[in-house]
Homo-oligomer: A and B are copies of this chain.
Amino acid sequence: MAKKACPLCKTDGEEILFQNDLYRIIAVNDTAWPGFCRVILNRHAAEMTDLPIEDRSTLMKAVWVVESALRDFMQPTKINLASLGNVVPHVHWHVIPRWADDTHFPDPIWAPAKRPTSTVRAEPNHAALARILSEYLA
Protein backbone atom coordinates (compact mmCIF):
# COMPACT_ATOMS: atom_id res chain seq x y z
CA MET A 1 0.00 0.00 0.00
CA ALA A 2 1.39 3.38 -0.95
CA LYS A 3 2.01 5.52 2.09
CA LYS A 4 -0.20 8.34 0.90
CA ALA A 5 -3.16 5.95 0.54
CA CYS A 6 -2.66 4.44 4.01
CA PRO A 7 -5.52 5.33 6.37
CA LEU A 8 -3.34 4.75 9.45
CA CYS A 9 -0.84 7.36 8.29
CA LYS A 10 -3.62 9.83 9.14
CA THR A 11 -5.36 10.24 12.48
CA ASP A 12 -8.65 11.50 11.05
CA GLY A 13 -11.59 10.72 13.30
CA GLU A 14 -9.52 8.88 15.89
CA GLU A 15 -10.18 9.28 19.61
CA ILE A 16 -6.61 9.35 20.90
CA LEU A 17 -6.18 8.30 24.54
CA PHE A 18 -2.41 8.71 24.62
CA GLN A 19 0.29 9.54 22.11
CA ASN A 20 4.00 10.13 21.82
CA ASP A 21 6.50 10.35 18.96
CA LEU A 22 6.42 6.61 18.25
CA TYR A 23 2.77 5.60 18.59
CA ARG A 24 -0.75 6.58 19.54
CA ILE A 25 -3.34 4.63 21.51
CA ILE A 26 -6.92 5.02 20.37
CA ALA A 27 -10.34 3.98 21.64
CA VAL A 28 -11.97 2.02 18.81
CA ASN A 29 -15.49 2.88 20.06
CA ASP A 30 -17.14 -0.20 18.55
CA THR A 31 -20.29 -0.93 20.58
CA ALA A 32 -19.85 -4.63 19.76
CA TRP A 33 -16.44 -4.65 21.51
CA PRO A 34 -16.43 -2.34 24.52
CA GLY A 35 -12.95 -1.34 25.62
CA PHE A 36 -11.35 -2.30 22.29
CA CYS A 37 -8.21 -0.17 21.90
CA ARG A 38 -5.55 0.03 19.21
CA VAL A 39 -1.88 0.87 19.56
CA ILE A 40 -0.86 2.37 16.22
CA LEU A 41 2.68 3.10 15.07
CA ASN A 42 2.82 6.71 13.89
CA ARG A 43 5.18 6.16 10.98
CA HIS A 44 4.51 3.79 8.10
CA ALA A 45 5.97 0.27 8.47
CA ALA A 46 4.31 -3.03 7.70
CA GLU A 47 5.82 -5.54 10.10
CA MET A 48 7.13 -5.49 13.66
CA THR A 49 10.44 -6.84 12.34
CA ASP A 50 10.71 -3.78 10.09
CA LEU A 51 11.24 -1.75 13.27
CA PRO A 52 14.43 -1.41 15.35
CA ILE A 53 14.28 -3.64 18.41
CA GLU A 54 13.98 -0.62 20.75
CA ASP A 55 10.83 0.54 18.96
CA ARG A 56 9.32 -2.94 19.12
CA SER A 57 9.90 -2.99 22.88
CA THR A 58 8.46 0.49 23.36
CA LEU A 59 5.39 -0.45 21.32
CA MET A 60 4.88 -3.69 23.28
CA LYS A 61 5.18 -1.81 26.56
CA ALA A 62 2.21 0.27 25.39
CA VAL A 63 0.31 -2.92 24.55
CA TRP A 64 0.99 -4.31 28.04
CA VAL A 65 -0.12 -1.09 29.73
CA VAL A 66 -3.35 -1.05 27.69
CA GLU A 67 -3.91 -4.72 28.52
CA SER A 68 -3.34 -4.08 32.24
CA ALA A 69 -5.60 -1.05 32.29
CA LEU A 70 -8.41 -2.87 30.46
CA ARG A 71 -8.13 -5.81 32.84
CA ASP A 72 -8.36 -3.43 35.81
CA PHE A 73 -11.22 -1.37 34.39
CA MET A 74 -13.32 -4.16 32.89
CA GLN A 75 -12.38 -7.57 34.35
CA PRO A 76 -12.76 -9.37 31.01
CA THR A 77 -12.65 -13.16 30.73
CA LYS A 78 -9.63 -12.82 28.42
CA ILE A 79 -7.60 -10.25 26.54
CA ASN A 80 -6.99 -10.84 22.83
CA LEU A 81 -3.92 -9.29 21.20
CA ALA A 82 -3.35 -9.22 17.46
CA SER A 83 -1.18 -7.52 14.88
CA LEU A 84 -2.60 -8.55 11.51
CA GLY A 85 -2.48 -5.69 9.01
CA ASN A 86 -3.61 -7.60 5.94
CA VAL A 87 -6.04 -4.86 4.98
CA VAL A 88 -3.92 -1.97 6.23
CA PRO A 89 -0.24 -3.03 6.32
CA HIS A 90 0.79 -0.37 8.81
CA VAL A 91 1.81 -1.72 12.23
CA HIS A 92 -1.09 -1.60 14.70
CA TRP A 93 -2.04 -3.78 17.66
CA HIS A 94 -5.59 -4.71 18.52
CA VAL A 95 -6.18 -5.04 22.27
CA ILE A 96 -9.62 -6.56 22.75
CA PRO A 97 -11.34 -7.43 26.03
CA ARG A 98 -13.42 -10.60 25.68
CA TRP A 99 -16.15 -12.09 27.84
CA ALA A 100 -17.43 -15.66 28.04
CA ASP A 101 -20.91 -14.43 27.07
CA ASP A 102 -19.86 -12.15 24.20
CA THR A 103 -21.23 -12.78 20.71
CA HIS A 104 -18.21 -14.76 19.49
CA PHE A 105 -16.55 -16.30 22.55
CA PRO A 106 -14.42 -18.42 22.51
CA ASP A 107 -13.87 -17.76 18.81
CA PRO A 108 -11.85 -14.74 17.64
CA ILE A 109 -13.91 -11.63 16.91
CA TRP A 110 -13.28 -12.16 13.18
CA ALA A 111 -15.07 -15.54 13.11
CA PRO A 112 -18.84 -15.72 12.53
CA ALA A 113 -20.92 -14.77 15.59
CA LYS A 114 -22.08 -17.70 17.72
CA ARG A 115 -24.95 -16.00 19.58
CA PRO A 116 -26.79 -12.67 19.88
CA THR A 117 -25.58 -10.00 22.26
CA SER A 118 -26.52 -10.84 25.83
CA THR A 119 -24.87 -8.56 28.38
CA VAL A 120 -24.47 -5.02 27.07
CA ARG A 121 -21.30 -3.51 28.49
CA ALA A 122 -20.39 0.16 28.55
CA GLU A 123 -17.10 1.60 27.35
CA PRO A 124 -14.66 2.14 30.20
CA ASN A 125 -14.34 5.77 31.28
CA HIS A 126 -12.03 7.14 28.59
CA ALA A 127 -10.81 10.09 30.64
CA ALA A 128 -9.81 7.75 33.48
CA LEU A 129 -8.23 5.32 31.01
CA ALA A 130 -6.28 8.14 29.37
CA ARG A 131 -5.01 9.25 32.80
CA ILE A 132 -3.76 5.74 33.62
CA LEU A 133 -2.07 5.37 30.22
CA SER A 134 -0.36 8.71 30.67
CA GLU A 135 0.74 7.79 34.19
CA TYR A 136 2.50 4.62 32.98
CA LEU A 137 3.67 5.69 29.53
CA ALA A 138 4.45 9.41 29.65
Contact = CB atoms under 8 A, between A and B. Distances in A.
B48 A81 contact: yes
Interface residues of A, number: 33
B110 A86 contact: no
Given A48-B79, A82-B108, 10 more contacts: A48-B63, A48-B64, A48-B81, A77-B86, A78-B84, A80-B83, A81-B82, A81-B83, A82-B83, A111-B111
**Which of A63, A80, A86, A105 has the most chain B CB atoms inside 10 A of its CB?**
A86
Contacts of A68: 49
Chain A, interface SS category: mixed
Nearest to A87: B106
A62 to B, nearest CB: 12
30 contacts: A46-B78, A47-B71, A47-B79, A48-B63, A48-B81, A49-B68, A49-B71, A57-B60, A60-B60, A77-B86, A78-B85, A80-B82, A80-B84, A80-B85, A80-B86, A81-B82, A81-B83, A82-B82, A82-B84, A82-B108, A84-B108, A86-B98, A86-B105, A86-B106, A107-B110, A108-B108, A110-B110, A110-B111, A111-B112, A112-B112
